[in-house]
Amino acid sequence: MTRRTRWFSVLKVADVPTQTPDERESSSDLHRALLRMAPDERLPLVLHFYLDLPLDEVAKTLRVSQSAAKSRIYRAAKRLRADLTIEEVF
């Protein structure tokens, strides 16, 4: 399976529920914080939390072991959390 085929096989269409103004603001803060991350740091988060892929699928897509995928998700989430917390303070 080529890389492109593998990538397209994991894409899903997400249902987007209607949001309140506060939810939209939080969502845009999250979106901006994600865009500030390096693509290789952002990708594990998007695959796991946005596309709702299980850890083994994230690992296959990234071509790493499950423990490496888990570590990447943890580190990226930790950085994202810190970035959003700092943003809220200012």
In this prediction, residue 83 carries a pLDDT of 86
The position carrying tokens 């570590």 is: 71
In this prediction, residue 13 carries a pLDDT of 45
Question: Hey, where are the domains in the chain?
Answer: 36-90
Average pLDDT over residues 34-49: 92
Is 80 exceeded by the pLDDT of residue 71? yes
| CA neighbor of 53 nearest in space, from 40, 41, 66 | 66
Is 60 exceeded by the pLDDT of residue 41? yes
pTM above 0.95, yes or no: no
Fold (CATH) for 36-90 = Arc Repressor Mutant, subunit A (1.10.10)
Instruction: Please give the C-alpha separations between residue 77 and each of 1, 6, 42, 84, in angstroms, as whole numbers.
Output: 29, 24, 9, 10
Average pLDDT over residues 44-72: 95
Is 50 exceeded by the pLDDT of residue 14? no
